[in-house]
């Protein structure tokens, strides 16, 4: 029996090596629902479709809709029946807001009166109809040679740099004041103009995007929404390989390499928590909202899904406390060691990582990487109700696991007989 088990495990290990070599460099597939609210800057060359094509080239899916009447402002959108109906549909992962191309670059008083209040209204409507959606402010760009029609009224608009710097500032302010993220298309355009001046991002009117300009916007949204390296993109539209690669490199440098600059990921859930003690009783208080999904592993084979549980320990020893938290598509976990001693409780920060699950989230097929002491042990995968959906023996330090007929949701991967538990998200 022992020889048969070893042989079976060797076969699995060999199979994993073959699968791993073919899949390890493939980025995780994603599906996102995105609503674009804007005007002709979004509608020209059909940016939503371009974004979907860019994403599809890396096996990602963008389900999109849009409302982009020419010349529209945030104010007009707040009373547009089509805009309101599309937002109210709900189930959007992201709602993109693009203001009229000139308004955000006007004087402070004009922007405070004509832009900020209506951005706040749209953001509020998005939050009401889409509890899991993120608002994305689509930073546009300065006109090729400045805004000649308004130069006489406001000197900074007389040049591209003056107008562009104001747009950059105002879209950052919009994101800050609404706790939203920025898709910094204008900043990517600025990088391209500086580093690749032969790429003409403008149409003949020196305002609207050329196909190259729209492609740059699509690559920016790829990095902002999917949080993936845009150099992975293989769809080049009608651009030459050289130009497409330069644009992808610009999006990587400006966006992907500096996500937090644009608040991307800043509002994801955080598994951090505090605790108070009384003899052998510990009260845990999560730093995140009780509306999030919580899972606590108390290190003694007991669990809780409360946001702020109270746990009584029955023996004096050190317990690894794991806190998992998720909210919509965002998730996080933390492990802290707590020692129960006769005089009370002392804590030490620490992390144990005897297993690694990837990709995570998964569409049902994922890889397990385990430390050597885990080999030969059994694992169990169970849902939030504690129901086991799969269990088997671990035969190698690296193996592939398939989940069949499992509904999307949060699951937990536990090594039987140990305190090793990790969260697994099935999309």
| Half-sphere exposure (Cβ direction) of 258: Cα atoms closer than 13 Å | 12
The answer to whether domain 270-352 has CATH 2.60.40.10 is yes
Neighbours of 210 (CB within 10 A): 16
Q: In whole numbers, what is the pLDDT of the chain averaged over residues?
A: 87
Domain assignments of the chain as residue spans, ordered by start? 31-262, 270-352, 353-427
pLDDT of residue 16: 35
Average pLDDT over residues 219-240: 98
Q: Which CATH superfamily is domain 31-262 in?
A: SGNH hydrolase (3.40.50.1110)
353-427 CATH: 2.60.40.3080
In 3D space, the residue among 342, 300, 341 whose CA is nearest the CA of residue 321 turns out to be: 300
Position 165 confidence tier, pLDDT thresholds 50, 70, 90: very high
Q: Is the pLDDT higher at 272 or at 9?
A: 272
Residues ≥6 apart with Cβ < 8 Å to 121: 74, 78
* Calpha distance 338→319 (Å, rounded): 5
For 302-315, the pLDDT digits (tens) are: 899 898 999 998 88
pLDDT digits (tens, 9 = 90+) for 130-142: 888 999 999 999 9
* pLDDT, mean of residues 210-239: 98
Q: Answer yes or no: pTM beyond 0.75.
A: no
User: In the chain, pLDDT over 90 holds for what percent of residues?
Assistant: 57
Q: How far apart are CA 49 and CA 228, in angstroms?
A: 18
Question: Residues 351-400: pLDDT tens digits?
Answer: 345 788 888 888 888 988 888 888 888 898 987 767 789 999 998 888 88
pLDDT at 7: 34
- Examine the pLDDT at 185 and tell me if it is beyond 70: yes
What is the tens place of the pLDDT at every residue in 186-214? 999 999 999 999 999 999 999 999 999 99
- Asked if the domains 31-262 and 353-427 are classified in one and the same CATH topology, the answer is no
In the structure, what pLDDT confidence band is assigned to residue 332 with cuts at 50, 70 and 90? confident
Coil, strand or helix: which one is 38?
coil
Q: Is the pLDDT at 17 greater than 50, yes or no? A: no
């Amino acid at each position: 029996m022992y020889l048969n088990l070893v042989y079976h495990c060797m076969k699995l290990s060999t199979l994993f090596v073959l699968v791993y070599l073919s899949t390890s460099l493939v980025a995780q597939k994603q599906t996102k629902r995105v609503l674009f609210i804007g005007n002709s800057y979004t509608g020209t060359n059909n940016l939503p479709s371009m974004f979907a094509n860019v994403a599809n080239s890396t096996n990602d899916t963008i389900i999109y809709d849009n409302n982009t009447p020419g010349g529209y402002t945030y104010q007009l959108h707040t009373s547009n029946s089509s805009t309101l109906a599309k937002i109210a549909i709900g189930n959007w992962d992201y709602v993109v807001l693009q203001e009229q191309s000139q308004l955000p670059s006007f004087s402070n008083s004009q922007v405070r009166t004509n832009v900020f209040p209506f951005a706040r209204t749209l953001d509020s409507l998005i939050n009401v109809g889409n509890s899991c959606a993120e608002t994305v402010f689509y930073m546009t760009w300065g006109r090729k040679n400045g805004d000649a029609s308004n130069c006489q009224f406001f000197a900074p608009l007389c040049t591209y740099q003056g107008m562009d710097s104001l747009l950059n500032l105002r879209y950052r302010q919009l994101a800050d004041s609404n706790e939203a993220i920025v898709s910094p298309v204008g900043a990517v355009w600025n990088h391209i103009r500086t580093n690749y001046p032969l790429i003409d991002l403008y149409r003949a009117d020196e305002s609207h995007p050329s196909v190259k300009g729209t492609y740059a916007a699509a690559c920016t949204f790829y990095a902002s929404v999917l949080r993936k390296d845009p150099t992975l993109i293989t769809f080049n539209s009608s651009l030459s390989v050289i130009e497409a690669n330069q644009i992808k490199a610009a999006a990587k440098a400006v966006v992907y390499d500096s996500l937090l600059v644009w608040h991307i990921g800043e509002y994801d859930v955080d598994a951090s928590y505090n605790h108070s003690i009384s003899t052998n009783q510990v009260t845990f208080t999560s730093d995140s909202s009780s509306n999030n999904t919580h899972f606590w592993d108390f290190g003694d084979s007991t669990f809780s899904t409360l946001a702020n549980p109270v746990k009584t320990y029955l023996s004096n020893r050190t317990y690894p406390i794991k806190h998992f938290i998720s909210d919509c598509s965002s998730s996080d976990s933390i492990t802290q060691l707590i020692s129960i001693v006769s005089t009370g409780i002392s804590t030490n920060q620490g992390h144990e990582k005897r297993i690694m699950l990837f990709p995570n989230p998964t569409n049902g097929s994922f890889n397990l990487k385990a430390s050597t002491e885990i080999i030969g042990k059994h694992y169990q995968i169970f849902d939030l109700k504690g129901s086991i959906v799969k269990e088997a023996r671990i035969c190698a330090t690296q193996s592939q696991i398939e989940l069949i007929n499992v509904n999307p949701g949060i699951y937990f991967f536990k090594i039987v007989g140990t305190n090793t538990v990790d969260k697994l998200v099935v999309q």
